[in-house]
């Protein structure tokens, strides 16, 4: 017999249980769900056996609270323990039993056991509707839960019917039930989003938002769910700004409630990642996807489809980043998890098949790609609605793209026609996909050499993306400023340029070549517009590399037009295009530095930002150090560390948005147009100076020699041969191979510089702007002719340094900007600070490296570098002499000097002192990480007290230094070597110092001797102290080393180069 409790008959335990339940109810009403769950469970333990109804009610309360916390598995296990008791409740308590079954169904849904979930929900609905007197809100709740399960199963029409039934009942209930109605409206919106009925979805969301605001519930988890659903819909509509606004609301709510590990928090981060991926900010997208995957994996491992979705999206992202093996790994894992969770016939699994197909296509696995697209079509066909028909159309379009890539044009046309036949939706949505369909028709006609039709299709594609109803002439450059799809439009403009050039080659039609150039320039503008919108540097660098072909093609065509027309304007334009292709991310940083310094931002805010950036750097290193741990506890700590890092990044992003909004001048200076012109660059050159800029284009190199009054162009051929020569030459320098050096050096001079000799008349200073592999070449070390080293001593040979001061720059525009910011490099220095740890205390430093396990001794007996395997490193006794000698030379010229030697040469002292001095000199060990340059570093003395700075200055720590130095000298090994990024240049230790405000940097290209470095630095500073410009001082110092037979071999004096203004 079932017994219930009445207060009159209650004993002490019963009264205690009732009090516990009252407290649980209060906590639940206050949205303190963790406390509510604990008190409900404690009450249930008191009720067990004696009062089954109260026991079951308390279990349901605890399960509800756990569900609110996103803890579905614990809720399900708790419900299962009470299921036998609930099944014995008498008919008059059918309401409790029905609710209990419904809770199990809901938990099973979130555990993705969807068939069982639907069965429980149907049983609940049957119990509730077959019993008289059941409150209508319970029946509405059953319809609501059943609708959610059917939505998860992809049974969208059935889901709409269930949600509509729930909403119909809820609208008849008192106002106190409006919150439940809002929840139903949210899911009605979400299922319409699944069906691509976006306007209807937004209407339902709007109704829910209005209810939340009226009830004062707009900071609840349900409100966050609504904003998350709106974010998804806006993302699908490609309204990324609105999507980001909704996503920020979600993050604010969950962080505010302390629910940063909630499943919906992870979903919001995943949607943010989609937004960033869609606009091309790939590095930031990766961060958000990985953070979302962390939360799902660590806290919600039962959500297999969500984890599968994150893996699949990461696969698609890595494909776009060119990381194909990682892309295949994640995409295949994602598909497996979706199939396990939802089955192969689910429409969402079909979408995963489509993403997987794209990854296979990028990997060159074309047959597997086509197979996946067909599996996608089968899955989408299981839901016969307009949304699925459009998805099928896009799958056929993608199959056509595979056949276009394999030149199977008949098969491509067949699937393009199928795509067009399935495409029956209005043009209001799926803008991007519809544009892609036209673009693929353009590709098809291009392959068929029907250039007129191809141009027409491309123009129609641009019209779709631009929202134009009228199709302009296919030969006109469309106005695309402000398009929400700059990356996509840039790609189509590049395709139009290609076809216009091909048509010109085929039939020589009119102005096709000039119009092709105009299209490429418009594509370049859009590509740069996209890059400026990104905040993650990796995304900026990826965009710069991806768009490099635009600049190369435009430069080549401009030079051809110059040759055909004789118009010098095209030659100047070709140079500006070549220059525009380099160093753009660094240039953006320089403009951003101007914004910080000159926009009136209070120093307190700048100090706060430096704190945030320092914290990010510290946290990032900590994550890297924890990356190799294997234990589950360690993995949990790593996940927690990544959470803190991500939260700090969000805080910094909010800070930057605040600066841009509250300080209009900051925004204006940061995003100011770089109004570059040939005249501006020439004005920065003296009468005796030349800028020599290289532009690789396939198997040739365009070389621009710019003087104050002239621009000349030379074309070098056989790039593969030149690349091999540079590699042999640098290797000869590093290995002191005299025979190879003299032979290869003479060949290089003859091949690269001798053709430029006519431009060097009257020139005494050259600034080189390398491209590609030429970044590794120290031009000043090239011998002016072929020598026989067996009969001609090196100190009697003549090198390029005998004729010219030589410096280097990322681009002419970067050099001009630094010149404007840094003043004249020939002015006598005002102040100097030098650092030399020396590392005489070998035992302590050995312990230091053993703890860090990050650096080791190099191959040279007195080299200023360490590699990544050892435990000790060499004493740099000449570094002490170096800094002392420099200090004496400068003090003799009344220059303020400060020296930090031995234990005083700490990282902390460097960070405090460096921003205050005109010249900053660091004589120490360094190490490089070519794969991940931000982990390259220079070494300071080990801190005496643990817990502060670690004595290793990493690249990303330099960004916050706020330098005002006209010169920074990194007197260490390989400080100028890192990762070579197409379209940007060398990413090395020096780059962070340029970011921090340095105008010029002296750096090394290979391992350098301690003694020889001292032999170069001492005379260099003597000439600087006498008022010589940095390039001239460096040249004279090198010549003094050449004059000494012991240091005349170019590897001993040529390793250090000067970069900057």
Q: Which pLDDT value is given to residue 1042?
A: 95
Which of 945, 928, 680 lies closest to 819 in space, CA to CA? 680
Is 311 in contact with 335 (CB distance < 8 Å)? no
**What average pLDDT does the segment 994-1012 reach?**
85
For residue 19, the SS3 value is helix
Q: What is the mean pLDDT of the chain?
A: 85
User: What pLDDT score does 825 carry?
Assistant: 53
**DSSP assigned state of 953:** E
705, 756 Cβ separation under 8 angstroms: yes
If one counts every other C-beta atom within 10 angstroms of the C-beta of residue 459, the result is 21
List all residues 6 or more positions away from 611 whose beta carbon is below 8 Å from its beta carbon. Answer: none
* CA end-to-end span of the chain: 92
d(C-alpha 383, C-alpha 377), whole Å: 11
Residue 203, SS3? Answer: helix
- Band of pLDDT at residue 2, cut at 50, 70 and 90: very low
How far apart are the C-alpha atoms of 543 and 320, rounded to whole Å? 11
Q: What is the pLDDT of residue 634?
A: 61
- Asked whether residue 10 carries a pLDDT value surpassing 60, the answer given is no
- Across the range 1028-1046, mean pLDDT stands at 94
Three-state DSSP at 689 gives strand
- Distance CA(977)–CA(983), nearest Å, equals 16
pLDDT confidence bin for 881, thresholds 50/70/90: confident
Helices (H) and strands (E) in the chain, counts: 44, 18
The torsion angles phi and psi of 347, rounded to 5 degrees, stand at -60, -35
What are the boundaries of each domain within the chain?
602-662, 678-813, 823-1060
- Residue percentage of the chain with pLDDT more than 90: 41
- pLDDT-derived band of residue 769, with 50, 70 and 90 as boundaries? very high
Helical packing angle, 632-662 and 282-299, nearest 10°:
140
Which residues neighbour 133 within 8 Å (Cβ) at sequence distance 6 or greater?
A: none
Backbone angles phi, psi at 869, to 5 degrees: -120, -20
CATH number of the domain located at residue range(s) 823-1060 in this protein: 3.40.50.1460
Rounded average pLDDT over 46-70: 86
CA–CA separation, 477 and 487 (whole Å): 16
pLDDT confidence bin for 169, thresholds 50/70/90: very high
pLDDT at 851 over 60: no
pTM score of the predicted model: 0.78
Q: Which of 45-59, 517-531, 739-753, 842-856 has the highest mean pLDDT?
A: 739-753
Q: Characterize the bridge pairing of strands 896-901 and 831-836.
A: parallel
Q: Please give the pLDDT value at position 872.
A: 53
């Amino acid at each position: 017999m079932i017994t219930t409790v009445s207060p009159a008959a209650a004993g002490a335990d019963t009264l205690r249980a009732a009090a516990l339940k009252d407290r649980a109810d209060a906590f639940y009403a206050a949205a303190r769900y963790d406390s509510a769950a604990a008190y409900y469970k404690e009450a249930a333990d008191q009720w067990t056996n004696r009062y089954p109804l109260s026991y079951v009610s308390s279990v349901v309360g605890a399960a509800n609270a756990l569900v609110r916390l996103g803890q579905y598995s614990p809720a399900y296990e708790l419900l299962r323990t009470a299921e036998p008791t609930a099944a014995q409740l008498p008919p008059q308590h059918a309401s409790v039993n029905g609710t209990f079954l419904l809770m199990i169904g809901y938990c099973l849904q979130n555990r993705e056991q969807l068939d069982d979930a639907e069965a429980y929900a149907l049983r609940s609905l049957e119990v509730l509707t077959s019993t008289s007197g059941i409150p209508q809100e319970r029946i509405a709740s059953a319809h609501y839960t059943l609708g959610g399960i059917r939505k998860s199963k992809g049974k969208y029409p059935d889901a709409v019917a269930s949600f509509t039934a729930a909403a119909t009942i809820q609208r008849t209930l008192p106002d106190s039930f409006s919150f439940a109605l809002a929840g139903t409206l949210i899911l009605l919106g979400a299922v319409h989003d699944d069906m691509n009925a976006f306007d209807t979805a937004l209407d339902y969301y709007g109704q829910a938002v209005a209810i939340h605001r009226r009830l004062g519930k707009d900071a609840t988890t349900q409100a966050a769910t609504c904003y998350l659903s709106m974010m998804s819909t806006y993302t699908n509509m490609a309204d990324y700004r609105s999507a980001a606004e909704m996503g920020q609301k979600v993050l604010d709510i969950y962080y505010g409630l302390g629910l940063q590990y909630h499943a919906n928090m992870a979903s919001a981060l995943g949607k943010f990642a989609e937004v960033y991926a869609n606009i091309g900010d790939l590095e930031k997208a990766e961060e958000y996807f990985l953070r979302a995957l962390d939360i799902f994996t660590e806290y919600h491992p039962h959500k297999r489809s969500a984890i599968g979705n994150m893996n699949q999206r990461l696969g698609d992202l890595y494909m776009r980043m060119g990381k194909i093996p990682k892309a295949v790994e994640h995409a295949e894992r994602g598909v497996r998890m979706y199939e396990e969770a939802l089955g192969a016939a689910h429409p969402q699994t079909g979408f995963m098949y489509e993403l997987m197909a794209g990854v296979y296509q990028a990997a060159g696995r074309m047959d597997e790609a086509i197979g996946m697209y067909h599996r996608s079509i089968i899955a989408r066909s299981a839901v016969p609605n307009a949304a699925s028909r459009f998805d099928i159309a896009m799958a056929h379009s993608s199959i056509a793209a595979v056949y276009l890539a394999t030149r199977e044009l008949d098969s491509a046309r067949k699937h393009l026609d199928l795509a067009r036949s399935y495409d029956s939706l209005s043009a209001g949505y799926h803008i991007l996909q519809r544009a892609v369909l036209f673009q693929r028709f353009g590709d098809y006609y291009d392959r068929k050499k029907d250039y007129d039709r191809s141009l027409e299709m491309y123009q129609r594609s641009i019209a779709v993306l631009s929202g134009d109803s009228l199709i302009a002439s296919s030969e006109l450059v469309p106005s695309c400023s402000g398009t929400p799809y700059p990356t996509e439009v840039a790609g189509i403009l590049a395709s139009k340029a290609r076809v216009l050039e091909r048509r010109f080659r085929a039939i020589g039609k009119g102005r096709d070549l000039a119009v092709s150039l105009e299209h490429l320039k418009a594509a370049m503008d859009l590509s740069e517009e996209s890059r400026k919108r990104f905040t993650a540097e990796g995304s900026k660098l990826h965009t710069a590399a991806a768009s490099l072909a635009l600049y190369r093609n435009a430069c080549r065509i401009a030079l051809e037009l110059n040759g055909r027309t004789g118009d010098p304007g095209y030659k100047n334009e070709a140079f500006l295009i070549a220059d525009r292709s380099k160093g753009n991310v660094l240039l953006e940083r320089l403009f951003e530095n101007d914004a910080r310094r000159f926009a009136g931002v209070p120093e307190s805010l700048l100090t706060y930002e430096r704190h945030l950036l320092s914290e990010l750097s510290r946290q990032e290193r900590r994550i890297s150090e924890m990356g190799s741990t294997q234990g589950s506890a360690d993995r949990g700590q790593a996940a927690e560390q990544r959470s803190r890092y991500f939260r700090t990044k969000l805080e910094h992003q909010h800070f930057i948005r605040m600066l841009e909004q509250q300080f209009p001048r900051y925004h204006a200076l940061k995003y100011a147009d770089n109004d570059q012109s040939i005249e501006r660059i020439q004005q920065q050159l003296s009468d005796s100076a030349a800028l020599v800029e290289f532009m690789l284009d396939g198997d040739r190199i365009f070389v621009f020699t710019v003087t104050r009054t002239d621009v000349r162009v030379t074309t070098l051929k056989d790039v593969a041969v030149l690349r091999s020569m540079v590699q042999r030459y640098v290797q000869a320098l590093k290995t002191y191979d005299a025979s190879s050096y003299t032979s290869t050096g003479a060949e290089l001079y003859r091949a690269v510089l001798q053709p430029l000799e006519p431009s060097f008349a009257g020139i005494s200073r050259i600034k080189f702007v390398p491209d590609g592999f030429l970044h590794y070449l120290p031009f000043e070390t090239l011998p002016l002719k072929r020598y026989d080293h067996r009969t001609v001593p090196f100190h009697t040979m003549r090198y390029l340094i005998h004729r010219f001061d030589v410096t280097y720059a990322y681009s002419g525009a970067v050099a001009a900007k630094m010149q404007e910011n840094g003043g004249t490099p020939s002015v006598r220095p005002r102040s100097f600070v030098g650092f030399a740890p020396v590392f005489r205390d070998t035992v302590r430093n050995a312990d230091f490296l053993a703890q860090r396990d990050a650096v080791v001794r190099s191959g040279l007996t007195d080299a200023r570098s360490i590699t990544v395997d050892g435990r000790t490193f060499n004493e740099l006794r000449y570094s002490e002499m170096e800094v002392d000698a420099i200090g004496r030379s400068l003090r003799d010229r009344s220059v303020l000097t400060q020296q930090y030697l031995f234990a005083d040469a700490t990282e902390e002292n460097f960070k405090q002192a460096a921003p205050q001095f005109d010249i900053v000199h660091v004589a120490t060990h360094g190490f490089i990480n070519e794969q991940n340059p931000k982990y390259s570093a220079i070494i300071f003395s080990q801190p005496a007290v643990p817990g502060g700075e670690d004595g290793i200055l990493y690249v990303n720590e330099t960004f916050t230094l706020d330098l005002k130095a006209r010169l920074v000298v990194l007197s260490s090994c390989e400080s100028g070597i890192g990762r070579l990024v197409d379209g940007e240049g060398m990413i090395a230790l020096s780059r962070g110092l340029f970011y921090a405000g340095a105008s010029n940097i002296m750096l090394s290209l290979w391992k350098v001797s301690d003694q020889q470095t001292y032999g170069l630095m001492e005379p260099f500073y003597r000439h600087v102290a006498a008022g010589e410009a940095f390039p001239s001082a460096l040249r004279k110092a090198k010549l003094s080393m050449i004059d000494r037979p012991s240091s005349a071999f170019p590897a001993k004096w040529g390793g250090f180069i000067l970069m900057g203004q």
